[in-house]
Amino acid sequence: MHTEARPQRAAGRRTFAVGWPAPLFLAVAGGLLTETAFPGKSWWVMAYVGIALLSLSLDDLTIRRGFVVGGLFGLAFFLPHLWWAEVAVGGPIGWLALTLLQSSAVALLGAATAAARQLAAVRRDALFEVLVFAVLWVAVEQLRSRVPFGGFPWGLLAFSQNDSPLLGLAPLGGAPLVSAATVAVGASLAVAVRKTRGARLRTAVAPLAAAIAVATVPGALPLAGSSESGVLRVAAVQGNVPTRGADAMAQARAVAANHIDGTRAALQRSSAAALDLVVWPESASDIDPRTDDALGAQISAVAREAGVPILLGTQRFVRDVRYNDYVVWTPDEGAVDVYTKQRPVPFGEYVPFRELLRRVAPAIDRIAVDMAAGTSVALVEVPIASLGRSVPIATAICFEVADDELIREAVRAGGELLVIPTNNASFGYTQESTQQLAMSRFRAAEHARATIQVSTVGVSAIITPDGQVLDETGLFSSDQMLEEVPLRTSLTLADRLGPWPSRAVDALAALIVVCAAVRSLQGRSRWLIRTLARQG
């Protein structure tokens, strides 16, 4: 019976290969340690350690075993990282399904890496091995960011590096470059470990020095911070909800009242004349004030008290679907501009294959009306009296903050400030809101834009264009933040390059996989010829 042959080691190349159970333990440890690089612990250096363990665990493995090891790393990472999905749904099915889906992508990474390491060029050259691993990692991150159902770009390695020197790479190449650099550091550490196994320590100096250089040198790169087109005095209002959890969505009128009261509280803390803009979160008024005259009048009244526009999140119902809108509301005219969410969350805001899934998971009907996608660029024009002009503001609603392309498109269209309205009420005291804040911080540095993340229940924050937090709220509290934020118009290199770095990575990854597949087929052909020859 044919069994998959183990890859042959190239002469002179040391691996960390040990007995079969050991790679499983290394992979699990690597996944768990990598997760600690993200909120809530934010031990960013652990991403390097975790990736190093994954790289070591894939040494000298067959493709099938690489798939298993990669999948175990993914499970160890995503099970704790996505725990908030269990809290939101109120049961494990959504959490486990999402975890398995994301882990399957990491399993593909493991298989592809195991195959690539059988290539002669990769086995001879440690630097080439590091680069191949980084390319494959980023390609898999992009794959799971796109498919299925528009993808789920959560847990990208880049989002763990906001406090590390690698953030300096964000304006140059965005999340793909920072993720690649993180992997390169970890993979270089793995090379150093291999070279110390049965050899003199001096052989590990070069890869260790490379890891230190990649991890530290980007810290010398400047990050933008100053104003280019004026400043705005902003009040961000976190109104809180009357009850916690998914039932908070039914409290729409009370939630709107909380944000009206919070705005008045902000006005007491700052002279009304000093404010330029009031920002409310997603779902601040899920009763649409454009169609509910009483609520519309209340919001207009508080807008007149402030003397400035209010940005607010609401729901718009059209026949048998709904839209998630972010509205510009002025004191005199009411709604004057709107952005409609382009990336509704599958199984959270709409249900694919509803009739089929209802048979196995009746709870999906808790989402009674599916959310439809908007089509316009994520940008609203906000009239600012003190500047004598309208300010284009880029806005990504809730989970859209994880979408590279959506925010980049809005900034390239002229966005001078980034606002991330969100509603975290369904996620309780989990790390979901702080994970989202990490993404907002990264987007600020990537696009060199001051960023406001404003939530119904927290965490809300105001962030400088270099990714630093100016002010932050706690969870499930009523609070307001008052800050002066700079407006900026210049584009970073990451914005100018657009999707081309990602496309280049995809092309390189495809080439690596094709070369590995050809090599594998050649090996199987040789095995078949030898077998037939023996039988003959």
**Annotated active-site positions, please?**
282, 341, 398
Q: Where are the alpha helices (DSSP H) in 7-125?
A: 21-35, 46-57, 63-81, 83-89, 92-116, 120-124
Listed in sequence order, the residues at least 6 apart from 21 whose beta carbon sits closer than 8 Å to its beta carbon are none
Listed in sequence order, the residues at least 6 apart from 250 whose beta carbon sits closer than 8 Å to its beta carbon are none
CA of residue 166 relative to chain centroid, distance? 16
Say if residues 364 and 347 touch (Cβ distance below 8 Å).
Answer: yes
Q: Which two tokens stand for residue 394?
A: 């880029």
| d(C-alpha 200, C-alpha 196), whole Å | 6
| d(C-alpha 507, C-alpha 428), whole Å | 41
Q: Which two tokens stand for residue 375?
A: 């089509």
| d(C-alpha 443, C-alpha 160), whole Å | 12
Beta strands in 254-355 (DSSP E): 277-279, 310-318, 321-330, 334-340
Residue 216 Cα distances to 111, 161, 208, 371, angstroms: 31, 12, 12, 44
| d(C-alpha 112, C-alpha 118), whole Å | 10
* Sign of the dihedral defined by the CA atoms of residues 215, 218, 220, 225, in that order: negative
Residue 462 Cα distances to 138, 282, 444, 450, 467, angstroms: 29, 16, 10, 8, 10
Say if residues 266 and 482 touch (Cβ distance below 8 Å).
Answer: yes
Place of tokens 């990714």: 467
DSSP string computed for 410-425? HHHTT-SEEEEEE--G
